[in-house]
Amino acid sequence: MSVERHELLQEDVGAYVLGALDDSELRRFEAHLEECPVCADEAERLRPAAQALPRSVTPVAPPAALKRSLLATVDAEARERAGLSPRRPRPLARVADRLRTAGSSLGNLRPGMALAGACVVLLAGVATGAAGLYAIDNATESKQPRAVSRTIVAKVDKTRVPLGSGSLALPADHENGAVLRVHGLRPLEVGSVYQVWVRRRGEIISQSLFTVGEDGDGAAAVTDDLKGADAVQVTREQAGGAKAPSENSILTVPL
């Protein structure tokens, strides 16, 4: 890593996390991240702060027509995939809803002109969609995950961790253990940790301890081979871990 390059680019990390770099700067900074663990760590540290911003937004109810339109499209496409004759959604239905309800200037036009206007709106949407997909695919597929044979979703005690969720990624070779990922767990006070257990034929075996970040996300290794195990469980324990669970598990992955 070039120190000069790091000093030149390190100030970009905030703009990067906020999506505020221009295209050429973005490419330059992403190339820098590949070779600079300091900036990569800082980006990962700041990302949850940026991801928290939408959670501050004042709730606004979406129009019912949006859900109707989405479900009509989705149902039609699902029927097509299943080889059934699709009940095609009326593509202009939502636009027509808008013309009636949104006070659009098109609403005052004759039907033929309004239809032409609606088509322009639809074409613009298609063009926008195609360009947008490229950015999302790039953003989500830039790093390939380790090959896993399957992922099992955890059952969560929603009375104690209402926003919690989690999943266990089992590698293709069971010998190397699995990784448990959690989201939406509350960071614990100092002196407490989350503890991972494996339950096998009535026996419960400690695996690892973990904490979660400010965003409630965390990950832990499951070191045992899980062949023949009944479940992976998580409890909250005192720092250093417990010899046996002190509470019913807040999160359970059935195997």
CB 209 within 8 A of CB 223: no
Dist CA 196 CA 223 (whole Å): 10
Residue 46 within binding range of other proteins, rule CB under 8 A? yes
Residue 128 within binding range of other proteins, rule CB under 8 A? yes
23 or 202, CB closer to other proteins?
A: 23
CB 222 within 8 A of CB 178: yes
Residue 114 within binding range of other proteins, rule CB under 8 A? no
Among 119, 120, 135, 172, contact with other proteins (rule: CB under 8 A): 135
Give the shortest CB-162-to-other proteins separation in angstroms: 4
Residue 178 within binding range of other proteins, rule CB under 8 A? no
Binding region for other proteins (CB under 8 A) out of 110-118, 163-171, 193-201, 231-239: 163-171
Give the shortest CB-89-to-other proteins separation in angstroms: 12
Report CA Rg, the chain.
Answer: 25
Residue 7 within binding range of other proteins, rule CB under 8 A? no
170 or 206, CB closer to other proteins?
A: 170
Question: Which residues 207-226 are close enough to bind other proteins by CB under 8 A?
Answer: 214-217, 219
Question: Which residues 89-108 are close enough to bind other proteins by CB under 8 A?
Answer: 94, 98, 102, 104
Question: In whole angstroms, how far apart are CA 8 and each of 23, 33, 125, 144?
Answer: 17, 13, 39, 29
For residue 204, give the DSSP letter: E
Phi, then psi, of 192 in degrees rounded to 5: -130, 150
Q: Strand order of the sheet with strand 148-153?
A: 148-153, 165-171, 178-183, 218-222
Q: Burial level of 10, CB count in 10 A (0-12/13-18/19+)?
A: middle
Residue 60 within binding range of other proteins, rule CB under 8 A? yes
Among 96, 115, 165, 177, contact with other proteins (rule: CB under 8 A): 165
Give the shortest CB-243-to-other proteins separation in angstroms: 27
For residue 143, give the DSSP letter: S
